[in-house]
Chains A and B, each alone.
Chain A
């Protein structure tokens, strides 16, 4: 990144995302609000796509993610590796999609889908890593109970997880598209005041 503004944008939008993660994210997760991970991931996608639209520089999404992950360390919810790693993974996926699709709306949709699909996968992975095989057993039991509850007794836990990730990806694609639109409105608002 050559321009100082790219760095200051990454810092400020990373700060905004980190602040949201440290405050709203902690509250949502502590209160066990359903789909808290998806809500926070959507906020992350909004910040990442806005900064990318305002400063279309390769690497800016990744730096924004690094800053947000760094700030997340200062919150209760971030005191385990999972959330910080999740933020970094989300930023890397959006960076990848936006670079591959040349900062276009399609990149935003793909980036949003990847970022939100990563959330349930990362949650399962973190639970297993932190609490060990017991969490895996608990997750498997939960998946089987859920599967039988919706008349899918034969579904394996992995298939359930893949299904959840696919549903999250669909939501993510919509979030990516909407975020790109909001980013456009922000861009126009800024241009109008310049």
Chain B
């Protein structure tokens, strides 16, 4: 019965677009039969007074327009056909909204070989109520902040900005949650590493002291005779904030320009910076200094690398080198799940410099299990 009802629903949708005088009444008939077989209550839900008034208004306007353009009798006929089509489609929409859920969409898309699109559709359906609530909250917050009963037209850009930013955050969280749970259906990571050394992730907000902690730990390890290789990205400060970055080889201490601020419009990889290919070549050379027993230090990997660009190809090549003692990577907190997902590593030690009394000591403690006992 359920299959017959579904079939009739599809027949009704198809009939709605057939340009024949008998098609509209047959559409309503097919939709009613489908509703009786699948869910009789859908009729009551679909044909509520406000919806019926809307449909009457739309078909009445059509009748008027056509009657004005052709002949009154023709206008009435077309208006009636539009009315019947709308009534049928209202009923079908009521059925679809109850019987089509995110999982059904995903299953259907998978059958058609469009798994990712299905997942995106499912995610969109699931997030609809949340986005609606957010829009209402943002509207209320704006009204409270402006001390008015309701925001004005001039407040709309700010409302849009808040809503769009929140949507982007939810998207980031969804990707991070998928990565944390090991769902890679939406991503195409480069595959697991052949050998996984101890991975230490140093994290903290911008300006929390990640890079100084890394440099301090690198110097301390070198003093103890541990082989260290890698690079640090040092910001170059200019008037008005960061003017760019240089990349420093942690062994030789040499530096090369990596990025120069050129503004949002001309920036690369969605950043306000233009990147120098020579800087990436220099960083790759620094990573290639790693030997068996080395501690590899990468400061830092960001959104560009998570998209597979920037240092990422060199990083993957360096991490695939067998015999590394440990790898220490600086990553911002929000990017950790995506980063771990990209590298497909099973575990990592996280060192949060904001929560550590002595970040260098915390970092050395995290690396210690991978070093020979004498160190």
Contact = CB atoms under 8 A, between A and B. Distances in A.
Interface of A: 1-5, 7-16, 18-19, 23, 30, 32, 46-47, 50, 53-57, 63, 66-67, 70-71, 73-76, 79-81, 104-105, 130-132, 134-135, 137-142, 182-190, 193-194
Contacts of A10: 120
A70 B118 CA distance: 11
Contacts of B69: 134-135, 137-142
A132 B78 contact: yes
Given A76-B51, A134-B70, A138-B65, A187 B120 contact: no
Given A11-B127, A134-B66, A138-B69, A182 B265 contact: no
18 contacts: A3-B306, A3-B307, A4-B186, A5-B175, A7-B120, A7-B175, A11-B119, A47-B164, A50-B164, A56-B269, A63-B120, A70-B124, A71-B128, A76-B51, A79-B89, A79-B92, A182-B157, A190-B168
Contacts of A53: 270
Interface string B133-162: 001000000000000000000000100110
B6 to A, nearest CB: 16
Nearest to B61: A32
Nearest to B57: A30
Contacts of B51: 76
Given A4-B179, A190-B169, A11 B124 contact: yes
B47 to A, nearest CB: 12
A8 B126 CA distance: 12
Contacts of B164: 13, 16, 46-47, 50, 182-183, 186
Given A54-B270, A138-B66, A139-B69, A182 B93 contact: no
A53 B270 CA distance: 7
A189 B161 contact: yes
Contacts of A104: 265
Interface string B54-86: 110110011001101110001100100010001
B125 interface: yes
B120 A14 contact: yes
B270 A13 contact: no
Interface residues of B, number: 72
Given A16-B131, A63-B117, A194-B332, A8 B161 contact: no
A15 to B, nearest CB: 4
Contacts of B168: 9, 12-13, 50, 54, 186, 190
Given A5-B172, A134-B70, A186-B165, A19 B132 contact: yes
Interface string B163-193: 1110111111011001100001011100000
Given A16-B164, A57-B307, 18 more contacts: A2-B188, A2-B308, A7-B187, A8-B120, A11-B124, A11-B171, A13-B171, A15-B128, A50-B164, A74-B96, A76-B55, A131-B82, A132-B19, A139-B69, A182-B164, A186-B168, A189-B161, A194-B334
B149 to A, nearest CB: 20
A9 B75 CA distance: 45
B131 A15 contact: yes
Contact of A8 (B89, B165, B172, B184): B172
Contacts of B113: none
Given A7-B186, A14-B120, A138-B66, A76 B90 contact: yes
Given A5-B175, A138-B66, A194-B332, A12 B187 contact: no
Contacts of B86: 76, 79
B97 interface: yes
Contact of A15 (B92, B124, B169): B124
A57 B332 CA distance: 22
A58 to B, nearest CB: 12
Contacts of A138: 65-66, 68-70
Given A18-B124, A74-B93, A76-B54, A3 B187 contact: yes
Contacts of A186: 161, 164-165, 168
Contact of B186 (A8, A16, A182, A185): A8
B119 to A, nearest CB: 7
A194 B206 contact: yes
Q: Among A12, A14, A73, A190, find the residue whose CB has the most chain B CB atoms closer than 10 A.
A: A12
A12 B90 contact: no
A59 to B, nearest CB: 11
Contact of A5 (B68, B132, B163, B338): B338
